[in-house]
Structures are given as structure tokens and as C-alpha cells.
Structure 1
């Protein structure tokens, strides 16, 4: 109601800042062209940050942009979680209701944590990716809203931002890549002391080339004169300009205060104290207005009119008169919506607040809390719980503060504001001992915690315990990334439990500690898990027991696969089913399925994993479904079924992106890169690996992506890049938590790089180091490439005298390792034959038959690069055997291998093929001939090859072809290889498709029954 009152201290003329405003307008223009912009505006208090943002917002609106302003809220010392983003999204919803609803469609349950108007958030899920999921969905929401229009999101007073707001802003500025969007934030530079939580964020954002930082300087003497002229509506006296400039030192807000004091006749009586300067006009107001100012100062950044009326206890006419005096003095201003009041400048509010006596501050906070308890509608619903907790805490009333703080922690958890939840829980622990026992006995864990470490009692009827708070705080610390604090909490909890005699509760804390030790790179977590396992041993089934066993099985799957890991997974599934722990059961089944595949029970294991994936998607358990989209295709790739893995992975990228599962998405991209590499789609594999590096929030999926980039680089002959990416992968993985799925591929790449550089002794040393202690069960997918690289290096160097010493021992070691590996699926069997063939070549005893078997094994697999490599080896053997038929066949094999090498950019393979062809005086390209009318004749197929192709097209195996045509399986294999070469295809399926396309056979001729 007092919003129209004129102010006298603000200049209507915008002074200076032409360069800064130009920078902002340039950013607006680039955003309008589809390039999102990020800007930070810093400056000391009172320097004019808000005025600059207001001028820019006016210009942006004039250009047709939608502007959404949000400010960080200070209530005492407590910021509201996500307050500026909630305010900005609410403004966007008012301006673009239909567009925002469409952009949020399908994700309302998550996004309502920031914008409650979108609906009911439900119970939600709280996991390591919960906060990242919310951040990803928020970023995508803003990108979609800004797809067709320019949107400016301005966040003020970042120095007051809560941790969750800082994390969200950092994520947003790092990941925005599309949309006509400008995101800018202001902060008070003089408040950012060495330990201020905003300082690390500013340092991080300074390293981003996409973020532009603007620092506002104080006004010059000329600019102060122009500002005074605007305030006074007249040209100021030069002496007055000089005096005010000297006293204000160019600070725009101080200029305003000094100008008003000078016009009111108090300019000569001011002290040099900043606080006195800010309070002088407050003290000149009527006592009733001063009292209202003190009430508003303690209420928060903004105080609603109805709440202010309830706290002030004045008659409405008296309250309005007091407010009018404060607004006329330009101390308070009405909010844009006209429903509340705030100080025109936060410096004045801080000065008034600092002038309050300790008892006065506590009394005001109590009155705010009592008023809000009496009428909860006095403040917006999404702020009520947080503000009540702050008011009661600063009122120094533990009996009232503890329940209020716990309610606020629940609200913070609901919003995925885990940093604020942790801070509130720590505050609750601080209040615990001073809160009357009768009050504590009325509190229930089921009301305030989601974590119930078992105590053999019903959480709905048992009083809340201090250990319950510690458990919830430990999880909040883990989910917010505050792992050091969480680790300290678990240590204190376990110390308290030493005399408690509660093994299940202790086991739960040890399990949490294991996860945090791994996350903090303090170890592999096994000591902690083993302690937890020992604590639950022999106890009846329980959720904790099932969870411990699931963690043990998952740990063993990655680090010590084998029968014990399989047994732990089976028991975890059994226990989880008995106690109805649905999510734990699905995670345990996923681990069990993986271990089954690795142990050789392939089809059953894949079936278990597929069931879990489908079930988790149906039940809406995103984290398990996301993990299934990682593990299932990984196992498909492990058994050579890359073509089946790709669609699952492509579905996984969309699923992970939809639900904001950033780490999951990074793993999916990394695994997709793996399968695309196997299928000979190397350019796509590189793109997928790059996406994994960009999307990953933790190091390990990024390490896996770097491994794939190294493998492609090695295949293409860029040995230096392969070594660089291999070293990067090792840094990502670290040394604190070794896993075979990381160490063995690293070893294979180390062998590949060393072999490419001719360092055979280093190859042998790496193999000895990697296989020392034997081959871990279930790791054949990683060990075969390592053995192959070493065997190939030995074969290539067989004639070098310098490496003869130790050669026999090295070859025997490779033979022995190969004997111990499982070969129950075609891809593993093919690799075994390849390794044995290379070892035979290393000893000079490989033959055409040796390599024919290897080629036949790979012809049925989707491994074009591997097939090209073994064809090259077979061609060399054929040329060594001599004979025209062998020479013709070698020519076709080399042409096929060369085509693959050129397509993939595999320069070492291409060079080797070209060199072999040159030495044998073979042409790698066919001389074009006139095409005969008969397609078979045009392809150069003999009569016998036509018969073999007919049976290949009918789906017959080499053995079946041999039986029908009365030839040996080896001869059938030779014919098949010749046919593939003449058709220019890489496999039997492509050969059948070519026969159908060319109409080589009548439909009845392809009937297997024929």
C-alpha cells in the first residue's frame, strides 16, 4: 500500500557503468542467437550491483526477453534452500505458464522440490544421484523454456546463498550448452573472506571459459557529481561534491546517504563510523518507525505485512503511519508484489540488526515464531518450516527449537537440499542435551528420519534417539558430498555404540563408513565391510543383514569375483526377500546375475539381469534401473554380443538423461563406446567416450572412457595419444581401490603401448606384474586382450637376438595363463585360439590350418577389426605355403583386411597389410571387368562355391555344409572364406543377405529342408 511513495535519495539518472552494461547487453544478444551466457557481477556492498541488474533487466524486457529475478534470502544466518531458484522459477511460471508446464512435463515430482506449485513431490528417492538428478532436470527445464525465446535468470546476493543453491548454480553454469538463456548472479565481494563458502565456487567458476566475471569499481569524482545532480535535481556545489566524494570514497550507496543527510542539515554532524553513517537517518525517524525498522531487521530479508502486523502488535493505523515514515525516509521499501517490506539496502538492515541488544533479538525472534505458529498462513507455505526453525533457534528456546529444526531438516531432505539437512541435523544434535527429556520423548524417528538403524523396536512408537539423528546426518553428509563430516559422525556413532550392545546398528554404521572410505579414496572399504559382516553373522534375517550382504557381494563382484562372491549375492537375495527389502533385493539380484555370467552360467545370468531391469523400470526405481542399463549390456559385451548391447545402452542414455542420473549416464556412454569399438564403429566410439568424460560426476566412468580413447588411438597408430589417455585413466582410477576391471585393461594398454614402441622387456614385466598371484575368476574378458597383446609382441620380436633371454619362460607363462581361462562362449574361445596361434607364431610353428581355425572362429562374431587382423595373419601363412590357389585366397583376404583398416583408420594394420601385399606383388584393388549377365559369374564364384553359398544362405554351419557336400569341415571353411572375400563382406550373415539381394538362388533353393 505504500509502494508508490517517492524516494529522494536514488538518482533517476543511471550513472556510469556504460562498459559493464554493454557487456551485459552483448551477452543478451549472443543468447538471443542461441548461445547461452553466464555472468557473475561482484562488488562491495553499496557499489551499485542491484541498480546495474535493474537497468539491464529493463533493457532485456525492451528487447522482448523474459526476465526472472531471484534473490538469496537471509534469515538470521540461515539461507533458505534453493530460494533464488524457486523465486526465479515462480516468476517464469507467471510469465510463461504453458511453456513452463510443457517443459516440466513428466518430471513434476522432482521439479516440485524447487517449485511446489508443480504438484506433490511424493516421498521421493534419496540416493547419491538425487541432488545431481534434480540439478540436471532443472538445467534441462531452463534450456527447454529458453528454446524459442530469450530468458534472463538473475540471482542476487549470492554471498547469502545456501550450499544447495551454490551447487545448483555451479552445475548450471558448467552444463548449459543450448537455449537462449542468460544466467547472471551478483555477490558482495567485500564479504567474501578467506573462509567464506562462496570463495571456492568463485575460484571454480573463474576456470570456466564460459563464465564472464564483472567487478564493479567505485564511482569517480565526476560520476559522483552526476549522481548528486540526479538526486538533488540540480547541479551540486563543487565543494559539496568534493566533500561527499572524499567521505563516500565513490561508494554509490554512501553517496546517497550523505546527500540526504546534507539536504536534511545533518551533514556536519556525522562521525567517521560506517555504522553511525547508516544509522543516522534511522535515528531521525519517529520512535514508532524506528521500532518497526528493528522488527523488520530481525525478521529476514523480507517481512510480509501480515506477519509484521502480528509481531508489532500496533493498531493498523499506527502501523501504517510508522511504515509511511520509514518508507518516506527511504529506509524501508515495499516489495514488488506489495505484500511486504524490506530495507532498501542490506547494509542499513545489518546496521540496525547489529544495534539490537541480545535480549531484544531473542525476544523478537520469539514473537516472530509465536505469530507464525498461531497463523501459518502469514508466510508462503514453502518458507514456513525453515523460517519457524530459524526463529525458534535464535529465540534460544531448545524445547521449541528442536522439533522445529527437525521439521526443517525433513523439508530440506524433501527438496534434496542435503547440505542444509546436514546443517540442521547438526543443529538438532547441538540442542539435544539442553532440550527437556519430556520433549525428546514425544519425538519419533518415523517423523524425522528416513534411516532407521534397527534397535529391535517400532520407530512409530519408540522415542527418537540421538543415534537416529547421527544416522540421518551421516546419510545427508554422504549425499551432499560432505563426506569428511559424515565420516566423523560415523566415527562418533561407533564410539557411542561400543558400550551399546547393538550389533545391527553398529553394522549399519560400519557399512556407511565403508562407502565413505571408498568415496574419499582412503581405501577399498573392505575392512569396514568385513567388520559389518562379522557383526551380523549368525543373527536372524533383517534389512541391515540383507544390505550388508548386498554390499559385500557388490564389493566382491568388482574386486574379488569368484564362488564366495556368488554365495554372498545368493544369500543377499534370500535375506532381502525374507524381510521384504525390495530395492535391496533387486540390487542383489543384479549383482548375482553379473556373477553368474562371469562364472559361465551365461543365459541364466543374463535372464536375471533383464528381469531386474524391466522390473525396476515398472516399479519406478530409477537407480536400480539405471544400474541395470549399465551392467546388463556390459555383460552382453563381455560374452561377445555387442550388437545386442547397443540398443540397451542407447535406451540407457535416454533413461539416465530423463531421470538426471549423471553418473549412470556416464557409465552408459562409456560402455556404449566399448561396444561400438567392438563393432568397428570407431568414430562413434570416440564420440561416446567424449560424452562419458563430459557427463561423469565421478572419476571411474571417466577413467573407463579414457581407456577406450586410448584403445582407439592405439589401433590408429597414435601411440603418444594412447599413452596419454592410458595415464589419464590411471589417474581417474587412483591407487586406493584396485579392481580387475580397471587394472587389467590398463595393463593391456600398457602392453600395447610398450609393444608399439618395441619395448618387449617392458611387455614381459607388465604381464608378470598383472598376473602375479593368478588370474581372478570371471575376468576372462579383460585377461584375453592382455595375453593376446603379449603373445603378439613375442611373435613380432621372435627374430630379435636381444630378447631371446627369458623368452621361453615368458611364452610358458602365457600358455599357463591361457589354460586357466574360461572359454564357454564363442568370443572367449576365439580369443583362446588367437592367443595360441600367436604363441605358435612366436615359436615359428604356426600353419595355414592354425590361422584358418582362428578366422573361422571370428567370422561368426561381430568383430570386424579382429577379423581383419586374423585374416592378415592367415594371408601371411598362405603366402608362406606357396601355390596359386593359396595366393588367390591370400589376395582376397588382404583386400578385405585392407578395406577394414582404411574404414577404421587403423594405420598400423593397413601398413602391415600393404607391406605384405607389396612383398608378394599382390594388388589390393581389383581391376574392373565387364559385368557378366550371371551375378555369380560376375562375383567370380566357382560352381562349388555357389553350392556352399546356397547352404550358407540357408543358415548351415561349416560342419553341416561338409556333410551335405561330402567334403571336410576344413575344406568347407576354406570355401566360406573365399566366398566372403569375393563378396566383399565380413561375415556369413552379410553373405546371405548379398545372395538374397542379387537373387542368386530361387526361394526353394534356400529351404533348409531341401
Structure 2
């Protein structure tokens, strides 16, 4: 390879900037595209050299043209680095990629999530690290999914991911196309497209290869058309005295044809193996004696067609391998594939070579085993493809059941389950409906229908599973699934008797997973009835021992945490949450549904208990640049602390979340907190718009209505309007009294507190602020919700002042102020300061009437930022910043920005 990098300084500079950002704790992804031979690998090599100089751990993996036959091939390639041995050994699911898969954990729908989570943990442990994935145009589905996952989940880690791909291979329906389109929309992703070198650059490049006369140089530059690899091949041909044929493929084959007959024989065999091949395997397939084989390889290597690569050889360029492979005769190609198949042991490679060699018996056998291994490795998309290949071959092969090692129905079930595990629930449903009816198939089908929000069909299918079940364990799982499907429907009353049947059947059959599932469903039903002690007991029983099903175990830990939390036992909730978070981390499931929920609960406990520094540290790990609904849910959690502390990143986060406001949970959290954000910034009209949007997404009996109604009534009180206030409190009262089955038992402590808050805000909106009512609210939140106690004391202080109890008002205001300052609740501090100034309370610093938004602007002014920079930081127009600055100067009676900052510091207005 030429030692000079010519014509790529701008592209290399862009990649180095991604490295620099990673060094500063801003993870980045770079996608390098270009035609074959344009210099992608050369550029990546330069970047890796720079990364090593900067102390980065380097990981490199390459995709192969075998495609989906070998899942996670580039990851396995990268993990073989001896420097990573200890980190990989600590994560067995990653280590399983380095063998044949037989030692991998049993397959489950969570296997891929565990694998992804474990890799994320490894990257965080060995940072700073750069991970290069070459030839993404050949990537399997699971590797593409991994790239998307890393692009979205890496946030503040010192990690740089680089992917290279051929643009000339991306036809209109190429599976990488939508992935690239999705990723390039993310600001964390840097896209680099390598253009052809200019004639001047190409002249410099060819001159760097060696001596050549002006005529030859001009011809090479003209023929190469800006492609460095083509130029190298032309230069080599000229140096060897060859005439120059038309086209790159002809040129490449002309260099192959000068080899001896044994050399050509070895090179053709190598081309069938792929980009790389082991020495011993290549020797066996070539059929040459050892001495003759070694001479042939020496000849090939000396001409630069193959490179020595570890224990084998690699083509110098993929284009050369493709040219040699394409030139093979059909019979020759078939025989060579069969020869490789006779000597390989990897089922995935065997399946590939058997199919190419038209050995249908071998292809079916190998595909079935390759599917099972892909399942265990957490590559459901590839497993699904292998199983579908088995089904396609089934009628064309005699004795297929013996060869596959399973019945056709079992393979079809595996195909359906792996389709669902790869995110294709619709495909799973279609395949399960095509399977002969059975209790096992219907139990799975009911689960997928339930997840696709088809409750009536899910219930009917689960009932069919129950009626068809003959084996005790299958019956237990079917009953547990039926109980789960009945919950939150008009048949909710049947949940408990069905769940109890499931529990009895599970314990009788020893089906621990079905027992845990039934316990969780029964506990949820008890909770809905208001039987909190029963719910807590059942959740604790479910969480007491592993069920063998991680999703159920995490679900039990999450729900037990939540019940402790709802009962106000924050210390116990924290202990269970910590165990659940640790379990999720140990198993690589931190980013699974319940792994995420457990982290949110731990965050929420910190938030409620007033441990805001810890809460904010957790929130810093929640993604801002979201692209899916689960990511948006997690991002929404961060708004609790960011809005309460008045952080400037709120607007950026809300901008990213806005496209996901079609999801009820994302809308409830993000728009509910956006309403509070607007209220702190003196914009109750916008707050009401958010509240109305949230209520439009919630069911009338959803208890989440209580908090949103309280926020809406707060906005109405600020506006001095009562129109709609009665409707809002009526909706809150309905939600407090009605669950999914028409009645609601006693709510948890937080729910009861929000109900009282909504009532008090309704009275305030009507101009009636009763100190006794606000004392009830303070008391209700006093189970440990530090922030809400303080906010309620604020309103209690206002009510006491209006009632003429100035001493009591001062006391409540002082307590609220102390809490707000300890929490660092900047907007709340500003509101209390303004109220204290108007009330002339002792110790009230004058805020000069600044709004929370003006304090945000003033904070950045004090940091020395200009209007444009402040606008970019707060996601507002530069003109709007100018208006805020003018208002600040006027309110603080300051003539300059520096003076305003000094006044604000003296008054304690800056965080």
C-alpha cells in the first residue's frame, strides 16, 4: 500500500474531528462511502493510526460477502483482539461469538438485547475506543441493527464508530440504504463521501507509486478516472510490461492470467472461499501437493494478488476476488463450493457452500443447525432466514425431518419466533397462523396479538391455547398468557380467577416462568383493586427467585419497586431498583423495556427523595438524539430534572421528542413537563395547549390525568380564567374514581397527593385559596416527595398571606425557599423570590421581576456568551434573545450586560 495519503486531507480532518469529540466525551459515528477502490480502507487505516497515537483502543471488523450466513461477523472479528480478552471474558454472551455458538446462552427474545447491551458496556469499560466496521454493504441484518443501536445509544462515552461502504453497490432496494438514510439524519453521525481524485491529485498519487515516464503517467491518470486502486493496477501492469486491456475487470484478470496454472488454480479456489481463507483449507481444496501449493502461493503473494493474513491469506482488494469468482465456469464454481463444504464445520458457512454447490440435502441440514446457532448468538433475523431456507427446501429433500433434527411444525415455530424477536411481529403472526393448530403455537400467537394491540383476538387465541393444552407446563403458560391478555379490557374481572388457575397449574407442573408471570398479573390486579398489601406480597414472591426468563424477572423487580414507591417506602424501593438495575446490567439488558423502566424508577426515586445531583447524573445518560419510541420514553424522563432545574437543554430535548408525540406515554411525560416549563417561563397559554394535547391522548380512567389536570388548573389560575376549569376537575375526579373495570381502589400515596393538588388548584383557579386545603396537599406529599412538598408550601404561603396570617405565610415561604435552594430548582427559586419581594418577607431577595426564561438568558450572559450563541444554546431566535436581554437590563436597572450579571450574582439569582 502506498505510504502517502493524497487528496484526502479534508476527509481525514473530518474523521479526526469525530475522534476529538469522542475524546471530549461526545460519542460519534462516521460513515465513509465511495466507489470500490476509491480509498475507503486507506482512509480508515490513517484514522486508526491517528487514534492509536491519541491512546485509543482500536477494534476492527470486516463484513463478508456471505451476508446473512454469518451474523455479527465484523463484531466477532473485532473481539478476537488479544487486548480485549479480559473484557470479553467478563461478558460470556460476547465470548460466544468467538466459537461456534454451542456455548452460548439458551435462546430467548432478549438474547440480541443482551448482546447489544454487553457490547455497550464493553465499549464504556475500554474507552477511549474506535470501532471500525468495513464493507457495510455486505453487513448482515443483525450487524446493521447493531450499528443503529450504537449510533443512538452512545452519548457521552469516549467512543467513535466508523463504518465504510461501497456506494456503487447500493441498488435501489439494498437493505443498507434505509439504514444510512436514518443514521445520516442524526447530528452525531458524520457522513464522508469519497470523490474521485482530481487529475492533478492522481498524477501525484501515481508518481508516488514509483518511476514512470510522462506518457505512461498520462495514460494511467486518464484511464484510472480518479480511482486509486485502478491506478495501482494499471501501474503494476505497466511495470510488468503488459498491454492495458479495457475495463478494470479485464485488467484484473489479465494480471491473474500471467500466473502459472497451479497459481491460477489456487487463486480460483481462494475466490470461492471469499475475501479471506485459511492456509490449510486452501491447500486441501486446491488439491495440490504441499510443495507445489506453497510455490503457487508464493507466486501469487509476490505479485500482490493475495496478502498474508494471520494463518491464511486475503485478497488485496475485494474487486479482485469478485473478478476471479465471476470468471469461474459454472461447473468449476459448483465443484469448488462442494469441496469447501466437505471440509468446513461452521453450519452457516456450510449452508452457504452447499446451496452454491446445489447440494440440497447438505443445505437443509446445515441451514437448520445454522438457524439454531444464530438463535443462541442473538441474531434472530439471520436465524429466521436460515429456518425459512429449511422450509423452502423441505419438499425437495427426502427424509427432511431426520436431516433437520425437528419436525416441520417445530421449524416453522422457530421461524415465527425469530421473526418476532427481530421485530417482525406481523411476520410472526402470519407464520403462526400457517402452522397446524396447537396450544404452543396459539399461546405464542396470543402474546404477539396482544403486543400488536389486538386484545379481542389475543384473548380468543389464548382461550384456544388453554382448551387445546394437554401438557401441564403448556397449560400453565397458556393460562398465564390468557390472564395477561384479559387485563385492562372489559373482561378485567376474569383476570384474578384465570391468574389463580395459572398459578396452580404452574406450581403443579414446576413451570417457574409461568408461575412468575401469573404472580405479576395477579399482583397488578390486586393493585388496581387498591389491595396494596396483597399486590406487594405477590410481586415480592415473583421477584424472590429467578424464573429462568429474564424478561419476567425484570418485570417482577420493576413492579415490586413501583409498589414500594407508591406506598411511600422509598428506601425499600431504592434497594429493589438497585438489584433490578444490577441484574439488567449484568445480563446486558439495561436497554430492554424493563431494564429501561427500572433505571427510570431509580431516577424517579432520586428525584422524589430530593437527591437531585444523583438524578441529574442519571439523566445525563438518557439520550437526547432519539429516533425510536423507546428512546423517546427514556429521554422524556430527563425532563423531570431538567425542567425543575431550568436547564438550557430542555428546548433541544423537546425538539427531538416532538416527532414522537403520537405516543401516549411520550406525550404524557414530555408535553406534561413542557407545560410546566412554559409556566415557569410565564407562558400559561402554551402550557394549556400542552395540557389539552396530553388529555387528548389519555383514556378518561387513566390516573395520569390527575397530575396533568393539576398543571392545567395552575395555568388557568395564572391566566385568571375559569372557563374549562370545572370540566378539567370533573375529568380528574372521574379518573380518581374509575379504573379499567369501572371502579378504582385506593390509589398509592403519590396518586392521592396529586388528586388533592388538582382540587386545590381548581379552587385557586376560582379565586378561592384555602390554607386548610393546601395543608392537606403538603401533608399528602410529605411521605418523601421533597420538591412537591416545597411547591405546595409555596401555595400554602400564598393562601395564609391572603387569609391575613403573615407569620405563618413567612414560615411556609422560608421552608419552601430552603428546599428549593437545596434542590437547585432555579425556576422555582425565581418564583419564590418574586413572591417574597411582593410580600415583603424577611430574607426575600429582589428578583427584579425576572422570569425563569430571563434567568436562563442571564445565566448564559454571565458566562460571556453572545446573543447568537445564547439563541443556539436555548433553541430560540437571536432577536428573541435581544428582547430578553433588554428586559433584563431594564428590570435590574443595569446599563451593561456585565453590570447585569454582577447585580444578579449579588442578589443570588444565578444558579
Q: Shorter-chain TM-score: which interval?
A: 0.7 to 0.9
Quick check: 1:597 aligned with 2:524?
A: no
Aligned to 2:70, which of 56, 60, 80? 80
Q: Structure 1 787/584 Cα, relative in aligned 2: closer, same or farther at 3 Å? A: same
Aligned to 1:239: 215
Q: Structure 1 849/135 Cα, relative in aligned 2: closer, same or farther at 3 Å? A: closer
Aligned to 1:134, which of 108, 115, 133? 115
Q: Secondary structure at the match of 2:349?
A: helix
Deviations 1:347-384 (A, max 9, x none): 22212211222232222211221233xxx5xxxxxxx2
How far apart in 1 are the matches of 2:255 and 2:23?
Answer: 44
Larger Rg: 1
Deviation, structure 1 residue 299:
2.0
Aligned to 1:896, which of 803, 815, 835? 815
How far apart in 2 are the matches of 1:770 and 1:902?
Answer: 35
Indicate conservation of the 8 Å contact 1:710/1:726, yes or no: no
Greater shift, 396-405 or 560-569, is seen at 560-569
Deviation, structure 1 residue 404:
0.8
Deviation, structure 1 residue 529:
0.9
User: Where does 1:930-949 land on structure 2 (aligned, <5 Å)?
Assistant: none
Deviations 1:616-662 (A, max 9, x none): 3xx67543333234222222333333454334334444443332220
Q: Secondary structure at the match of 1:70?
A: strand
Greater shift, 680-689 or 38-47, is seen at 680-689
Deviations 1:318-337 (A, max 9, x none): 33343344334443x24232
Aligned to 1:49: 40
Q: Secondary structure at the match of 2:808?
A: helix
Q: Secondary structure at the match of 1:193?
A: coil
Quick check: 1:584 aligned with 2:514?
A: yes
How far apart in 2 are the matches of 1:31 and 1:704?
Answer: 23
Q: Secondary structure at the match of 1:113?
A: helix
Aligned to 2:309, which of 336, 343, 353? 336
Q: Structure 1 705/439 Cα, relative in aligned 2: closer, same or farther at 3 Å? A: closer
Greater shift, 43-52 or 873-882, is seen at 873-882
Aligned to 2:371, which of 409, 423, 446? 409
Aligned to 1:297: 271
Q: Structure 1 79/245 Cα, relative in aligned 2: closer, same or farther at 3 Å? A: farther
Aligned to 1:347: 319
Aligned to 2:861: none
Deviation, structure 1 residue 432:
1.6
Quick check: 1:527 aligned with 2:456?
A: yes
Aligned to 1:123: 105
Deviations 1:238-297 (A, max 9, x none): 1222222222223233223333433444416x2x24332221222233333222222222
Quick check: 1:206 aligned with 2:135?
A: no
Aligned to 1:703: 633
Deviations 1:476-532 (A, max 9, x none): 222223x1xx523532441x35xx4x342551353254156x3xxxxx231331231
Q: Structure 1 595/695 Cα, relative in aligned 2: closer, same or farther at 3 Å? A: farther
Aligned to 1:574: 504
Q: Secondary structure at the match of 1:606?
A: helix
Quick check: 1:316 aligned with 2:290?
A: yes
Aligned to 1:933: none
How far apart in 2 are the matches of 1:51 and 1:827?
Answer: 59
Q: Structure 1 426/238 Cα, relative in aligned 2: closer, same or farther at 3 Å? A: same
Quick check: 1:250 aligned with 2:250?
A: no
Deviations 1:593-637 (A, max 9, x none): 233233222123223223333413xx6754333323422222233
Quick check: 1:504 aligned with 2:439?
A: yes
Q: Secondary structure at the match of 2:164?
A: strand
Q: Secondary structure at the match of 2:388?
A: helix
Aligned to 2:554, which of 621, 626, 630? 626
Deviation, structure 1 residue 86:
1.8
Gaps of 5+ in 2: 739-743, 846-911
Deviation, structure 1 residue 811:
6.6
Aligned to 2:684: 757
Indicate conservation of the 8 Å contact 1:686/1:709, yes or no: no
Quick check: 1:638 aligned with 2:566?
A: yes
Q: Structure 1 593/756 Cα, relative in aligned 2: closer, same or farther at 3 Å? A: farther
User: Where does 1:684-703 land on structure 2 (aligned, <5 Å)?
Assistant: 685=615, 688-689=618-619, 691-693=621-623, 699-700=629-630, 702-703=632-633
Quick check: 1:288 aligned with 2:210?
A: no
Aligned to 1:474: 416
Indicate conservation of the 8 Å contact 1:854/1:870, yes or no: yes
How far apart in 2 are the matches of 1:557 and 1:813?
Answer: 23
Deviation, structure 1 residue 34:
7.2
Q: Structure 1 574/791 Cα, relative in aligned 2: closer, same or farther at 3 Å? A: farther
How far apart in 1 are the matches of 2:148 and 2:694?
Answer: 43
- TM-score of the pair, normalised by structure 1: 0.72
Q: Structure 1 635/293 Cα, relative in aligned 2: closer, same or farther at 3 Å? A: same
How far apart in 2 are the matches of 1:752 and 1:63?
Answer: 42
How far apart in 2 are the matches of 1:513 and 1:854?
Answer: 43
How far apart in 1 are the matches of 2:86 and 2:163?
Answer: 26
Quick check: 1:113 aligned with 2:52?
A: no
User: Where does 1:441-520 land on structure 2 (aligned, <5 Å)?
Assistant: 441-445=402-406, 464-465=407-408, 467-481=409-423, 483=424, 487-494=426-433, 496-497=434-435, 500=436, 502-508=437-443, 510-514=445-449, 518=452
How far apart in 1 are the matches of 2:384 and 2:709?
Answer: 50
Aligned to 2:361: 399
Deviation, structure 1 residue 770:
8.4
Deviations 1:130-177 (A, max 9, x none): 223212322332342345xxx554433332222222332343344445
Q: Structure 1 34/904 Cα, relative in aligned 2: closer, same or farther at 3 Å? A: closer
Gaps of 5+ in 1: 1-9, 377-383, 446-463, 519-523, 927-1010
Indicate conservation of the 8 Å contact 1:594/1:606, yes or no: no
Quick check: 1:193 aligned with 2:171?
A: yes
Q: Secondary structure at the match of 1:187?
A: strand
Aligned to 2:896: none
Q: Secondary structure at the match of 2:313?
A: strand
User: Where does 1:375-394 land on structure 2 (aligned, <5 Å)?
Assistant: 376=345, 384-394=346-356
Q: Structure 1 515/190 Cα, relative in aligned 2: closer, same or farther at 3 Å? A: farther
How far apart in 2 are the matches of 1:768 and 1:328?
Answer: 74
Deviation, structure 1 residue 744:
10
Aligned to 2:388: 426
How far apart in 1 are the matches of 2:530 and 2:422?
Answer: 40
Q: Secondary structure at the match of 1:547?
A: helix
CA RMSD of aligned residues (A): 4.5
Quick check: 1:858 aligned with 2:858?
A: no
Greater shift, 47-56 or 527-536, is seen at 47-56
Deviation, structure 1 residue 103:
2.6
Deviation, structure 1 residue 402:
0.1
Aligned to 2:878: none
Q: Structure 1 364/831 Cα, relative in aligned 2: closer, same or farther at 3 Å? A: closer
Deviations 1:758-796 (A, max 9, x none): 699989988997898x63xxx65x354356556767888
Q: Secondary structure at the match of 1:335?
A: strand
How far apart in 1 are the matches of 2:661 and 2:532?
Answer: 28
Aligned to 1:785, which of 686, 707, 710? 707
- TM-score of the pair, normalised by structure 2: 0.79
How far apart in 2 are the matches of 1:490 and 1:916?
Answer: 60
Deviations 1:166-222 (A, max 9, x none): 332343344445676654343223222222222233333433444444443434445
Q: Secondary structure at the match of 2:133?
A: strand
Deviations 1:654-707 (A, max 9, x none): 443332220334323333444344334556556545544459885257337527
Aligned to 1:675, which of 605, 610, 635? 605
